[in-house]
């Protein structure tokens, strides 16, 4: 059936006027309300007020305007005689297209200083009712909640006068997702209110909204299926909004994406040009330098064996010099804010190298929450954003304080340790403006074994290096082993009952040690 009548009521008016200009030119009648009707009339479009169609005026300052049998009967009417007769009996006419998006509740919620009364007034009633009715009756009615769908809807109408079944189903699915997320946001807000009218950080009801971005070749292992879901509303700069660049041969796998996320989170720690090489979610090499190429070469050199087949994250646009360095080693993927055209020509020589572009750059403290699935539930926590400034404000507990160069290296190593699986030990050095890891011990059941792993990776470069430990040393043995390797300064949280013995071991080897008072476990 051709589109004959459209009901339009939107808060987001992007692209609305040209969309409806094209429809009215095809003879489509437009019913509308309030501010939407005024905006359309101001654009020179012919509009019928919903109140004129229903014969009932808007009441309560517009709180009630579309909740009427002539509206919902016109949307819910099926292509059968009894429905047509029922609608005709009340003087209604079929509505074939519903263009509705809802009061800006979430936008108001994000605005500093928004009052409870303001938020309550942004709870839409008529809008979700019309959207759900149209989505339910998608066999006949087209529902559009997102302005980005106007072109595809218009293209089908211009081709056949109607919208095809497949697109109507897709739009109905999107409509129910739209109202589900909307209701979820309201539920979370109301369930976060405490008895005094304040807001708790973690609401009693948690509603997460995601959409499938693409299927994966398989999950963590080949016998497992998988897909990547993007958070609805994911911000620019996040992995959810990152886009592939060029024609890398294979699709990104489940494990690739887990590693890309780990690398991206780590490289966001640094303001100067930085590179992170990740293998199995752990940084195996991290460096900062005056140029991106220097940073990458230093990060790769920290553990060239592990870098083979790794994931690289960079925090600057990839230039041609860095590209030449990247193609020297087999890598699974590179993620960066953007890639210069000449760099892409070089990188595309590697057939199976996947390139991801985040476009914008997202600071690590802009994402406020992490979610981890466990059997039958979720663990939700504030994102760990506290490493910055902790070393500079740390308490010197040994006879010797760190030198300026040691302090720079300790600050760098501490930021890296936050991204290494516990028990985490990071050995690093500073050389002028450059800082770089020389050895990383990750995921060991004993902290002293993590020290031994890091020392083994560092080799001779451990002599004169500094060490960061994500949690306290329970015994002096970790410090003793670090001293044997040649470490000169240590940063750790402190807080063990053995702290006096640990400090004494550091003093015995002239190691400078500082306590931050904060730990950074990553499980």
User: In whole angstroms, what is the distance from residue 261 CA to residue 364 CA?
Assistant: 12
In angstroms and rounded to an integer, the radius of gyration of the C-alpha atoms of the chain is 30
Specify the fold of 5-191.
Rossmann fold (3.40.50)
What dotted CATH number matches 388-515? 3.40.140.20
Copy the structure tokens of residue 1.
Answer: 């059936």
Q: In what order do the strands lie in the sheet with 29-32?
A: 48-49, 29-32, 5-9, 97-100, 142-144
Q: How far apart (Å, rounded) are the C-alpha atoms in residues 400 and 414?
A: 19
State residue 211 phi and psi, 5-degree precision: -130, 145
CA distance 416 to 314: 14
Q: How far apart are CA 278 and CA 310, in angstroms?
A: 6
Name residue, tokens 């892409």. 344
Residue with tokens 């960061």: 468
Q: Are 38 and 49 in contact, with CB atoms under 8 Å apart?
A: no
Ranges of each domain in the chain: 5-191, 237-364, 388-515
* 3-state SS class at 449: helix
Q: Which residues are catalytic?
A: 136, 280
Contact (CB, 8 A) for 415 and 518: no
Inter-residue contact 248 to 266 (CB < 8 Å): no
* DSSP per residue, 158-181: HHHSS--HHHHHHHHHHHHHHHHH
Q: Examine domains 237-364 and 388-515 and report if their fold is the same.
A: yes
CATH T-level topology, domain 237-364: Cytidine Deaminase; domain 2 (3.40.140)
Measured between alpha carbons, how far is 146 from 175 in angstroms, rounded to an integer?
Answer: 9
The token duo for 3 is 């589109």
Backbone angles phi, psi at 377, to 5 degrees: -175, -175
pLDDT tens for the chain, 523 residues long, are: 689 999 999 999 999 999 999 999 999 999 998 889 999 999 999 999 888 888 888 778 777 878 888 999 999 999 889 988 999 999 999 999 999 999 999 999 989 889 999 999 999 999 999 999 999 999 999 999 999 999 999 999 988 888 999 999 999 999 999 999 999 999 999 999 988 878 888 889 999 889 999 999 899 999 999 999 998 878 888 899 898 887 556 788 999 999 999 999 999 999 999 999 999 999 999 999 999 999 999 999 999 999 999 999 999 999 999 999 999 999 999 999 999 999 999 999 998 899 999 988 776 555 568 889 999 999 999 888 876 789 988 999 999 999 999 999 999 999 999 999 999 999 999 998 899 999 999 999 999 999 999 999 999 999 999 999 999 999 999 999 999 999 999 999 999 999 999 999 999 999 999 999 999 999 8
Q: How far apart are CA 316 and CA 344, in angstroms?
A: 14
């Amino acid at each position: 059936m051709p589109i004959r009548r459209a009901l339009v009521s939107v808060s987001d008016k992007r692209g609305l006027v040209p969309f409806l200009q094209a429809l009215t030119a095809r003879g489509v009648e437009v019913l509308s309300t309030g501010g939407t009707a005024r905006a359309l009339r101001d654009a020179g479009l012919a509009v019928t007020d919903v109140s004129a169609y229903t014969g009932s005026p808007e009441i309560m300052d517009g709180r009630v305007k579309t909740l009427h049998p002539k509206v919902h009967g016109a949307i819910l009417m099926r292509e059968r005689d009894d429905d047509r007769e029922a609608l005709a009996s009340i003087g209604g006419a079929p509505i074939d297209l519903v263009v509705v998006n809802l009061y800006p509740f979430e936008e108001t919620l994000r605005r500093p200083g928004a009052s409870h009364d303001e938020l309550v007034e942004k709870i839409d009633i008529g809008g979700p009712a019309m959207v759900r009715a149209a989505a339910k009756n998608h066999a006949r009615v087209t529902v559009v909640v997102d302005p980005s769908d106007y072109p595809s809807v218009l293209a089908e109408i211009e081709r056949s006068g109607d919208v095809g079944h497949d697109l109507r189903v897709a739009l109905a699915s999107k409509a129910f997702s739209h109202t589900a997320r909307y209701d979820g946001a309201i539920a979370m807000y109301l369930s976060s209110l405490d008895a005094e009218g304040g807001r708790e950080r973690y609401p009693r009801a948690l509603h997460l909204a995601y959409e499938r971005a693409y299927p994966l070749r398989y999950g963590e292992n080949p016998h497992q299926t998988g897909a990547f879901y993007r958070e609805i509303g994911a911000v620019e700069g996040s992995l959810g909004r990152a886009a592939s660049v060029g024609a890398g041969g294979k699709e990104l796998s489940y494990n690739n994406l887990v590693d890309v996320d780990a690398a991206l989170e780590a490289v966001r720690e640094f303001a100067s040009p930085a590179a992170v090489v990740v293998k199995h979610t752990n940084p195996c090499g991290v460096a900062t330098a005056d140029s991106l190429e220097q940073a990458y070469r230093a990060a790769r050199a920290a553990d060239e064996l592990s870098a083979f087949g790794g994931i690289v994250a960079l925090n600057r646009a990839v230039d041609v010099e860095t590209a030449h360095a990247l193609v020297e080693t087999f890598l699974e993927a590179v993620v960066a804010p953007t890639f210069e055209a000449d760099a892409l020509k070089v990188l595309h020589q590697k057939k199976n190298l996947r390139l991801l572009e985040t476009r914008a750059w997202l600071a690590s403290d802009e994402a406020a929450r992490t979610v981890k699935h466990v059997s039958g539930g979720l663990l939700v926590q504030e994102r760990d954003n506290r490493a910055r400034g902790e070393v500079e404000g740390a308490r010197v507990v040994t006879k010797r304080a760190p030198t300026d160069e040691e302090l720079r290296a300790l600050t760098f190593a501490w930021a890296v340790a936050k991204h290494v699986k516990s028990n985490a030990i990071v050995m690093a050095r500073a050389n002028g403006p450059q800082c770089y890891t020389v050895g990383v011990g990750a995921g060991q059941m004993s902290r002293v074994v993590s020290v031994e792993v890091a020392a083994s990776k560092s080799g001779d470069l451990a002599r004169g290096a500094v060490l960061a430990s994500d949690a306290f040393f329970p015994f002096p043995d970790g410090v003793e082993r670090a001293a044997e390797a040649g470490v000169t300064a240590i940063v750790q949280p402190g807080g063990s009952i053995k702290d006096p013995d640990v400090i004494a071991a550091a003093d015995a080897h002239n190691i400078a040690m500082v306590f931050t008072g904060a730990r950074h476990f990553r499980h």
